[in-house]
Structure 1
Amino acid sequence: MSDTHRQVGLERLGRGRYRVTNARGGEMVIGDGSSDDFTPVELLLAAVAGCTAIDVDLLTTKRTEPERFSVTSAGEKVRDDDGNRMEGLTVRFDVAFGDDEAGRAATERLPDAIRRSHDRLCTVSRTVELGTPVDTQ
């Protein structure tokens, strides 16, 4: 596998339940929403939140750990003549650093880190925003 190629495998476990595996041996079960398993849409939201959270985390926590770091990703599922899709995707950060020199420096870096992730770094949200075609075979 090259440094740029990404791939997951999916195996059916039963009606509406699937095991997803990655090349490193990680696995998770996803489903159709009839159980507590994550749905594909929830995974999309998690991927957007996770991708930008990792960027922001790495850019802001070089000298200090956050006191609070949570991210919420949300959107509206739409069904119309164009088919099913998500609209109005949002990513909201709730981050706090300590009230010391390192914490204030991290707080000052936070808006730029969020902007850099959104505008350039986060592969997931950049792919969604740019609209990459999917070749289904």
Structure 2
Amino acid sequence: MTANPEDPRPDSFRSVRLHRTGPGAFRVTNDAGATIDIGGDEPTFSPVELLLAALAGCAAVNVEEITGRRAEPTGFEVTAEGHKVRDESGGRMSDLRLLFEVAFPDGEAGDAARAVLPRTVRQTHDRICTVSRTVSLGTEVDYVVAGQD
């Protein structure tokens, strides 16, 4: 978010806007103007897939930043997976899992990156990744209808 001295929102504030583009189709836009489409006739991500992407993306950014200080990865993939279930409490995801498949070049720098990878993944899970920490801690989500008290 670009700092604007007249913007009353704190630096911690984040938001996206979603608007309908057609029957069952929506576009999400962030403050920078990037967009993601959901639903519609073309292949797009489902909301659950976007949740998985957010988990994988947050973790990957953090892990890549820390290990990348030691060596540029030669391969870097994160698979986010889980089960979509419906039970007496409603629909939700369970058994969420992130699988990191990361490779580094041979040599001292690659060895250093490989050595910090497990600790970095643990730290990302335990305290760094905002997305997975929010899911794990079970933060409440308020649903509000504009103009309604």
TM-score normalised by the chain length of structure 1: 0.95
Find the partner of 1:23 among 7, 31, 35.
Answer: 31
Q: Secondary structure, in 3 states, of the residue corresponding to 1:78?
A: strand
Q: Give the C-alpha shift of residue 35 in structure 1.
A: 4.3
Q: Give the C-alpha shift of residue 2 in structure 1.
A: 2.9
Give matches, 1:1-137, under 5 Å: 1-31=9-39, 35-137=42-144
Unmatched tracts of structure 1, length 5 or more: none
Give the total of aligned pairs: 136
Map Cα deviations across residues 103-124 of structure 1 (whole Å, 9 max, x no partner): 0000001001100100000000
**In structure 2, how many angstroms separate the alpha carbons of the residues matched to 1:73 and 1:12?**
27
User: Which of the pair has more CA radius of gyration?
Assistant: 2
Q: Give the C-alpha shift of residue 134 in structure 1.
A: 0.4
Q: In structure 2, what residue type is equivalent to 1:63?
A: R
- Structure 1 moving runs of 4+ over 2 Å: none
Unmatched tracts of structure 2, length 5 or more: 1-8, 145-149
Map Cα deviations across residues 75-112 of structure 1 (whole Å, 9 max, x no partner): 00001111000000000000010111100000001001
Q: In structure 1, what residue type is equivalent to 2:109?
A: A
Q: In structure 2, what residue type is equivalent to 1:80?
A: D
Q: Give the C-alpha shift of residue 63 in structure 1.
A: 3.2
TM-score normalised by the chain length of structure 2: 0.88
Root-mean-square deviation (Å):
1.1
